[in-house]
Amino acid sequence: MLHIEPSGDNGSLKLTYDITLREGATAAGFTNVNTATDTTTRTAPSAANVSDYLTKTTVGAVDVKVDIDNHFLKLINKSDATGGLSTKDLSVAEVRSKTRDDANLSNNTFVGNAVAKGVLNPSYTNTTPNEVGRISGKGTNPVRGSTPISNGGFGAGLNKFQAPQDNTSTVFTPELIVSGSVTAKTLLARSVPLATFTTGKLVEVLEADRLQIARNLQPQAELLRRLRNRSDVEFANHRLVVVEGLYTKGPDETITPNSINWYKSKGRAVVYELHNELGALDIEKTFDLAVMLKNISSFEKMILDFDTFDPAGGINAQLVIIMPNLNNQYTVDEGSFFRNVETRFNGKAISNSDLIEVLS
Distance, in Å, from the CA atom of 240 to the CA atom of 320, rounded to the nearest integer, reads: 12
Instruction: Indicate whether 233 pLDDT > 70.
Output: yes
Could you tell me the CA-to-CA distances from 341 to 43, 131, 135, 220, 354 in Å, in that order? 85, 20, 12, 16, 6
Mean pLDDT of 15-37: 62
Q: What is the pLDDT of residues 168-194, one digit of tens each?
A: 334 455 566 666 688 888 888 888 899
The pLDDT, as a whole number, for residue 103 is 97
CA dihedral 168, 174, 175, 178 (to 10 degrees): 130
The pLDDT, as a whole number, for residue 70 is 80
CB 306 within 8 A of CB 345: yes
Mean pLDDT of 270-290: 96
Instruction: Indicate whether 9 pLDDT > 70.
Output: no
Distance, in Å, from the CA atom of 340 to the CA atom of 228, rounded to the nearest integer, reads: 23
Instruction: Indicate whether 165 pLDDT > 60.
Output: no
Mean pLDDT score of the chain? 84
Q: Strand 316-322 and strand 301-307: pairing?
A: antiparallel
The pLDDT, as a whole number, for residue 28 is 59
The pLDDT, as a whole number, for residue 42 is 76
Give the highest mean pLDDT range of 17-26, 230-239, 346-355.
Answer: 346-355
Percent of the chain beyond pLDDT 90?
51
Residues with Cβ < 8 Å from 211, sequence gap 6 or more?
Answer: 178, 182
Instruction: Indicate whether 317 pLDDT > 90.
Output: yes
The pLDDT, as a whole number, for residue 63 is 74
The pLDDT, as a whole number, for residue 98 is 97
- Could you tell me the pLDDT band of residue 108, with boundaries at 50, 70 and 90? very high
The pLDDT, as a whole number, for residue 281 is 97
CB 285 within 8 A of CB 238: yes
Task: Give domain limits for the chain.
Answer: 2-31, 130-358
**Range 76-79 contact pairs with CB under 8 angstroms and sequence separation of 24 or more:** 79/250, 79/251, 79/252
Q: What is the pLDDT of residues 305-316, one digit of tens each?
A: 999 999 999 999
- Helix, strand, or coil here: 177? helix
Q: What is the pLDDT of residues 43-88, one digit of tens each?
A: 788 888 888 888 888 777 777 888 788 878 778 889 999 999 999 9
CB 241 within 8 A of CB 266: no
Identify the residue with better confidence: 137 or 42: 137
Q: What is the pLDDT of residues 31-55, one digit of tens each?
A: 666 777 777 777 788 888 888 888 8
